[in-house]
């Protein structure tokens, strides 16, 4: 009797196991993990908005600086490569930028803005920028200015 019971128990557990395989195979298991085997780099480049952020720079720190410049809207008025749009000051020629070291003068302008000017879209105030953000933005302005004024020849040539 004892051996018989064990046999029946084993037989049914095997049948149930097989049935469960059959039934779970019939519909998609929603808990099935999605395994990413390959990162499609062409897709990443295609998704990168070159019209907005320009060509990606191989210097990743400078790329970050440029993105900070774009994110805060500077490029919208001053131009991504410092060719000003509308009334904005030409940062390629600005004496303030020329005298700036590590954001010491640019930072002052950003924190205060340039209020009460006759310009219809005046220089906004960025009172809550972090010091690192001012340094990043200033570094990009110096870099793009040096390239625009051809004092820096770089393989990372900025295209217009
Ligand atoms: C809404 C347009 C606009 C935006 C956005 C803007 N600016 Fe300006 N900026 C101006 C204008 C206009 C002037 C010139 C103001 C004047 O001369 O009265 C100016 C002046 C400046 C100057 C002073 C240049 C000089 O020599 O007098 C600096 C530096 C500057 N902007 C940097 C920036 C940076 C960096 C950002 C982004 C954080 C930025 N601006 C965002 C419009 C803008």
Phi/psi at 71 (5° precision): -60, -35
Tokens representing residue 39 in the block: 């990162």
Ligand 1 centre and the CA of 63: distance in Å?
Answer: 21
Q: Please return the burial class of 7, using the count of CB atoms within 10 Å of its CB with bins 0-12, 13-18 and 19+.
A: exposed
CATH number of 41-148: 1.10.760
Contact 143, 65 (CB under 8 A): yes
pLDDT category of residue 117 using cuts at 50, 70 and 90: confident
Q: How far apart (Å, rounded) are the C-alpha atoms in residues 69 and 62?
A: 10
Q: What confidence score (pLDDT) does residue 24 get?
A: 56
pLDDT category of residue 159 using cuts at 50, 70 and 90: very low
pLDDT in tens, 16-32: 766 666 555 545 555 66
Nearest atom in ligand 1 to the alpha carbon of residue 105 is: 29
For residue 90 and ligand 1, the question of a CB distance below 6 A is answered with: no
- What are the C-alpha distances in Å from 153 to residues 1, 148, 157? 92, 10, 8
pLDDT in tens, 35-79: 655 555 565 666 778 888 988 888 899 999 999 999 999 999 999
Ligand 1 centre and the CA of 67: distance in Å?
Answer: 17
């Amino acid at each position: 009797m004892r051996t018989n019971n064990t046999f029946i128990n084993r037989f049914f557990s095997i049948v149930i196991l097989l049935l469960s395989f059959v039934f779970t195979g019939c519909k998609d298991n929603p808990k099935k993990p999605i395994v990413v085997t390959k990162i499609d780099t062409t897709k990443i480049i295609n998704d990168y908005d070159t019209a907005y952020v320009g060509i990606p720079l191989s210097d990743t720190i400078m790329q970050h600086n440029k993105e900070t410049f774009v994110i805060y809207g500077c490029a919208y008025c001053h131009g991504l490569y410092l060719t000003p749009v509308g009334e904005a000051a030409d940062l390629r020629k600005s004496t303030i930028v020329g005298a700036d070291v590590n954001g010491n003068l640019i930072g002052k302008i950003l924190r205060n803005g340039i209020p009460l000017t006759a310009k219809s879209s005046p220089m906004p105030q960025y009172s809550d920028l972090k010091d690192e953000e001012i340094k990043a933005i200033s570094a990009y302005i110096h870099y793009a200015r040096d390239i625009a004024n051809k004092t820096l020849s770089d393989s990372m040539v900025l295209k217009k």
